[in-house]
Structure 1
């Protein structure tokens, strides 16, 4: 299941903190950047979960929004990619991990094929995220307010920016 894969990945990331020097250096730089630009109190555990979230959902952003350059155009995503590259330098095969998720990705991508409007796609991915966070980390779902923020408010917030 996706929550089991996510927990296994989280465990692998935590193990790499102790033995993968390139990963530790990239992670530390990214953590500093997160503390500077997002939240000065963000914990390394939260950033570990961000890595898991990114690894599980990056493909969906690229395919649902038809944006193959997502990880290059989004500043945070591109920085996360640097950390993941360092993680892959020793102990992690991203392609192998992704293959274990193919049936989930294909089902989600097929369900999204009929969505043309950006807000429909956003609503769709919000539902996917909601289910993902509920299965992976109830605490993160609560922190991010995904479960409790009505889509209309999310739409308003996005339109206001």
Structure 2
């Protein structure tokens, strides 16, 4: 976990310049405390060989000024990172990405089934949404962007009724950033809504 934190912190710093993810996220704060405690062990030498990679991420991120573009870079980096760097972990955990078109279809189908069977929709109070293996948070992010949750219900949903879990630290970091970024953009502003 600590190595994933060390390797990915510069990526997040480059992509989300001005937003101190390590200072705001509780898990990341604990990891940073551990890094500070181990400072005398020259942990920074572990990431020095990745400086070229970090520079390429900084250059790629420099031209992107919207959360969706940055999220796309993160998901691509994450997928490649696990496929190349941790192939056994990717295979054992079944790290597979569902295309957003399918995610959108599943969300709309769930909303329609909920309405048909119970007369409710996903935006209603006390309708909890569970994402037990959230990965990069695509289901929750697409739900927020889909318009299926009314803007006036978003604060309540976010605080009390959206539940996501992830055991892989890197995926958790990405999901946390993606979901936080999605809640700062009005649902109506989503440019890639599905009509499924």
Is TM > 0.5 for Structure 1 vs Structure 2? yes
Aligned to 2:43: 93
> Which structure's residues are more often helix, by fraction?
1
Match runs of 1:24-103 below 5 Å:
50-89=1-40, 91-94=41-44, 96-103=45-52
2:84 to 119, 135, 152: 135
TM-score, scaled relative to structure 2: 0.49
Separation in 1, partners of 2:89, 2:99: 17
For the structure 1 residues 144 and 70, does the alpha-carbon distance in structure 2 shift closer, same or farther, using more than 3 Å as the test? farther
Higher relative contact order (CA 8 A, sep 6+): 1
1:148 equivalenced with 2:97 (yes/no): yes
Normalising by structure 1, what TM-score?
Answer: 0.58
**Residue 36 of structure 2 is aligned to residue 116 of structure 1:** no
1:41-69, Cα deviation, whole Å (9 max, x unpaired)? xxxxxxxxx21111111011111111352
SS at match of 1:105: helix
Structure 2 runs not aligned, ≥5 long: 104-136, 145-157, 159-196
Q: Spell out, residue by residue over 1:16-53, the C-alpha distance to the aligned partner (whole angstroms, 9 max, x if none).
A: xxxxxxxxxxxxxxxxxxxxxxxxxxxxxxxxxx2111
Which is higher, the Rg of structure 1 or of structure 2?
A: 2
Q: Deviations over 1:117-146 (max 9, x none)?
A: 102101111101111111221233346654
- Residue by residue over 1:101-132, the C-alpha shift from the partner in whole angstroms, topping out at 9 and shown as x without a partner, is 11111112111222111021011111011111
Gaps of 5+ in 1: 1-49
Instruction: Tell me the distance in 1 between the aligned counterparts of 2:94 and 2:83.
Output: 11
In the alignment, structure 1 residue 157 sits paired with structure 2 residue 137:
no
How many residues matched?
A: 110
> Equivalents in 1 of 2:100, 2:5: separation in Å?
22
